[in-house]
Amino acid sequence: MNDYKNFPKKSSLSDTPLELPNNDFGTDKYVKGLVNFIERSAAPITIALKGEWGSGKTSLMNRLHNDLCSENKNFIGVKINTWEYSMLATPEETVVKIIIQLVRSLSNNDPSTSEKLKNFTKTAINFVYRGTREWGKKQIPFADYAIEALGVPTEIFSGQGTPENISLSDLRIALTNAIAKTLSEKNKNGIIVFVDDLDRLNPPLAVQILELLKNIFTLDNCIFILAIDYEVVVKGLEPKYGPYKPENDREFRSFFDKIIQVPFSLPVGNYDPINFVLDSLMEIDFINTSERHMTRFKQSIEKIVNYSVGKNPRAIKRLINTLSLLNCISQYSDQNQNTPDYKLINFAIVSLQVCYQKIYDMLSINPDFDRWDVTIAAKLGVHNAVDSEELNGDTILDALCEKEIFYDQHHSDILGLIRIIKECALEIDRSNPDKIVRDLMRSSSVTNVSNSESVGYNNREIINRLHSNVATFIKRNRPEIDLKPKRNTGNGGFIITLDNNTKSHVVFSLSEDELLTLGITLGVKNGRPERLANQPFSMVMNDDAVQQVIEPMHHVVKEYTSSGLIHPVSLFNGETYTDIVEEYKVREDELWDSISGDLSYRLKVNSVTDYEDTRMVRTISDLIIAAYDMNNRALKIK
């Protein structure tokens, strides 16, 4: 059992392959069985370690090297990283470099073999620079031509200037003798050649190297262990066999079987990464000891991992490192986000970001998944596939999954992550769970790799939506009102034409404070008629005609402030007023030449989708209509 009190804290996990003989994913029996098989194998033999990107092929190779080729073991280990030899080299040069390095490693610098290698290398280089054009003319795979060319005896000059014929067969014999001599001197059973990173090469080049290894280095006492993704082999063979189809699968399999005698598929399906994940989360100081042993917390972490990165070691490390960076940033935040539920939401959000970028981006726009709307559908390109009356998160995700295979394969996983996010947010704040999610989405935006502008809120998009919804409502209910959206300003709103052809303004402004907030300012400042000029403000407010102007507006404001849909903006003295007559009395000095002044209110909502809500649209529209009527009544005061 680990001593978690003394757990060494780190900010990240290294993605370098494991060098020590350990196995963090509960598959030790498979590794031990493979070691046992290799120890008793008859050489020559070629074994393939098959696995997708990040599944741990290199770490397994390192484990095998340690268990089979360390100083007190029975084999000599030779490591060949094909990716390193391909850097800044043509495919042809890469092949020659690998051949040279293999011969040098296998021969242990045997003088006789070294001389033959030097002459053979001249043959190879001569082929590369002189034969490539002929290869291109023949339009046959490079590997086939290379084997043919390198296998033909070619008269060249040795270091002493004497003609000498060095063929592939000659080199193989010299190499076999050198290997036998080395094994005898070191009292070893054989040589194991570990060939790594073939799947990082261009697939056709990876296939060429496989063919060359098979044809050149079938040597006594040699075991080749290759790390390869079968999908890379398939892609590399397409120039030879055409695009892969179920009907030509046999041709692809036959090639692989000729090269590889024993395939070993990394048992990713049997990986058990939860302990590695929990240990790593403690190592980066994301969770504490009690959380690690909390049953519900552990189960939720395991679900999140299964729903996202699954059992791929490299993907798990990337997820944890991303989380660690955000955790480091959160240390400088005033917000208390250190409870288990906050941590689970954060972990699930980062998992979405790492694995399901599109869903993460859309949650950034609207964290209320159940109320996703036409804007989300349009951004995902599925707005024409969903009935507008049935738009919600489920129907939009269904349409996306029908469109894209990847999301279709992970449909239930995405829903599982969203479910965890929602449940934990409700545990924190049942009155406003979307705010919890929105805050954490905003925090995670620094690690977002998408170029999407959807992280946070697109104010212009919300304003345009408001313009459309409010204008539609007013046109339907008061078609005589001439209003035009304000354009190209920092704020939104409307310009309204009054009965005397003067203009009145309604101004929208969005801000993000404790809640997403819409500010609305109603242009209702109206001048006094001549008979009230220079009169005390109390006399103006008691005037019957002025009261007739103000009272209808007052009742509309009173209705919506009482229901909590709108909130008055605080005045300079910190007071707020639901009674606009009382508010105007406080603002007496400002209104010395007016009967009324502009009114400002805030509408606080839980989610941007609330602006699509019929009640919210009606509230804003009724305020604008009331302001329009108030202004026109003021024009008629005598």
| Segment 126-169, tens digit of pLDDT | 544 444 444 344 444 444 444 444 433 333 333 443 434 456 67
Phi-psi region of 585 (alpha: psi -120 to 50; beta: other; left: phi over 0): alpha
Q: Single out the residue of 313, 263, 276 nearest to residue 55, CA to CA.
A: 313
Q: Which pLDDT tens digit goes with each residue over 223-238? A: 888 888 777 777 778 7
Torsion of CA 152, 158, 163, 167, to 10 degrees: -20
Higher pLDDT pick, 551 / 19:
551
Q: What is the pLDDT of residues 284-310, one digit of tens each?
A: 888 888 988 899 999 999 999 999 888
Q: Which residue has the higher pLDDT, 155 or 488?
A: 488
Rounded to a whole number, what is the largest CA-CA distance in the chain?
124
- In whole angstroms, give the CA distance from residue 605 to residue 568: 15
Nearest to 464 by CA among 608, 627, 618, 615: 608
Query: What is the phi-psi region of residue 477: left when phi exceeds 0, alpha when psi lies from -120 to 50, beta otherwise?
Result: alpha
Which residue from 306, 310, 336, 342 is spatially nearest to 323, judged by alpha carbons? 342
Q: How confident is the model at residue 66 (pLDDT cuts 50, 70, 90)?
A: confident
Q: What would the pLDDT profile of 232-275 be if each residue is shown by its tens digit?
A: 777 778 777 778 777 777 888 887 777 788 888 777 666 777 88
Task: Please report the pLDDT score of residue 431 as a whole number.
Answer: 81
> Higher model confidence: residue 65 or residue 26?
65
Asked if 278 and 298 touch (Cβ cutoff 8 Å), the reply is: yes
CA 122 to each of CA 211, 241, 350, 481: distance values in angstroms, whole numbers, following the listed order: 21, 33, 54, 90
Q: Which residues make Cβ contacts (< 8 Å) with residue 36, sequence separation at least 6?
A: none
- The torsion angle over the Cα atoms of residues 554, 459, 436 and 418, rounded to 10 degrees, is 120
pLDDT top residue among 417 and 212 = 417
Find all residues with CB under 8 Å of 273, minimum gap 6, and list them.
24, 25, 305, 311, 313, 316
Give the neighbor-by-neighbor strand order of the sheet with 599-605.
Answer: 482-485, 492-497, 503-512, 516-522, 599-605, 567-568
- With contact defined as beta carbons under 8 Å apart, do 629 and 481 qualify? no
Cα–Cα distance for residue pair 67/21, rounded to 1 Å: 7
Coil, helix or strand at residue 17: coil
132 three-state secondary structure:
helix
Q: Which pLDDT belongs to residue 606? A: 62
| Alpha carbon distance 471, 478 (integer Å) | 10
Q: What is the pLDDT of residue 129?
A: 43
What is the pLDDT at residue 436? 84
Q: Where are the alpha helices (DSSP H) in 70-218?
A: 82-86, 91-107, 111-138, 142-150, 168-186, 203-216
- 222, 228, 231, 236 alpha-carbon torsion, rounded to 10°: -60
- The whole-number average pLDDT for the span 620-624 is 94
The answer on pLDDT for 389 being more than 80 is no
Q: Taking the CB of residue 383, how many other CB atoms lie within 10 A of it?
A: 17
pLDDT in tens, 350-381: 999 888 988 998 888 888 888 887 778 888 88
Q: How far is CA 24 from CA 9, 27, 278, 308, in A?
A: 18, 8, 11, 19
Asked whether the bond before 44 is cis by omega within 30 degrees of 0, the reply is yes
Give residue 214's identity as a one-letter amino acid code.
K
Of 146 and 410, the structure prediction assigns the larger pLDDT to 410
**Cα–Cα distance for residue pair 74/6, rounded to 1 Å:** 38
- Helix and strand numbers (H, E) in the chain are 26, 15
What CA–CA distance (Å, rounded) separates 588 from 583? 9
Most confident by average pLDDT, 42-56, 423-437, 538-552, 567-581: 538-552
Query: Rounded to whole angstroms, what are the CA distances from 381 to 154, 241, 378, 418?
Result: 62, 36, 5, 21
Percent of the chain with pLDDT over 70: 76
Q: What is the pLDDT of residue 466?
A: 81
pTM (two decimals): 0.55
| Residue of 118 and 632 predicted with greater confidence | 632
Within 13 Å and on the Cβ side, how many CA atoms surround 343? 20
**Which pLDDT value is given to residue 3?**
41
Tell me, what's the pLDDT at 398?
92
Better pLDDT: 13 or 150: 13
* Listed range (129-138, 385-394, 413-422) with the worst mean pLDDT: 129-138
Higher pLDDT, 494 or 182: 494
Residue 172's nearest CA partner among 160, 164, 180 is 180
What residues form DSSP beta bridges with 521? 507, 600
Q: Between these two residues, 594 and 492, which has the higher pLDDT value?
A: 594
What 8-state DSSP symbol labels residue 50? E
End-to-end CA distance of the chain: 90
Domain parsing of the chain, residue ranges? 71-265, 270-456, 460-635
Of 14-18, 436-440, 456-460, least confident by mean pLDDT is 14-18
**Predicted local confidence at residue 464, as pLDDT:** 76
Q: What is the DSSP letter of 266?
A: -
Mean predicted lDDT score pLDDT of the chain: 77
Quick check: 118 and 128 in contact, CB under 8 A?
A: no
**Predicted local confidence at residue 380, as pLDDT:** 84
Q: How confident is the model at residue 421 (pLDDT cuts 50, 70, 90)?
A: very high
Q: Which of 109-118, 349-358, 386-395 has the lowest mean pLDDT?
A: 109-118
Q: What is the pLDDT of residues 23-35, one digit of tens each?
A: 456 667 788 888 8
Residue 190 has what DSSP assignment? E
Question: Pick from 528, 519, 503, 491: which is nearest to 628 by CA?
Answer: 503
Residue 421's closest CA among 299, 304, 320? 304
| Beta-carbon count within 10 A of 598 CB | 18
The separation between CA 100 and the C-alpha centre of its own chain, rounded to angstroms, equals 41
* Predicted pLDDT of residue 92: 63
CA distance 123 to 116: 11
**What does the pLDDT average to over 38-48?**
85
Q: Contact, 311 vs 268, CB < 8 A?
A: yes
Hey, what are 127's tokens?
């082929």
pLDDT at residue 54, rounded to an integer: 67
The tens digit of pLDDT for each residue in 157-210 reads 334 434 344 566 766 777 788 888 888 888 888 888 888 877 777 777 777 777
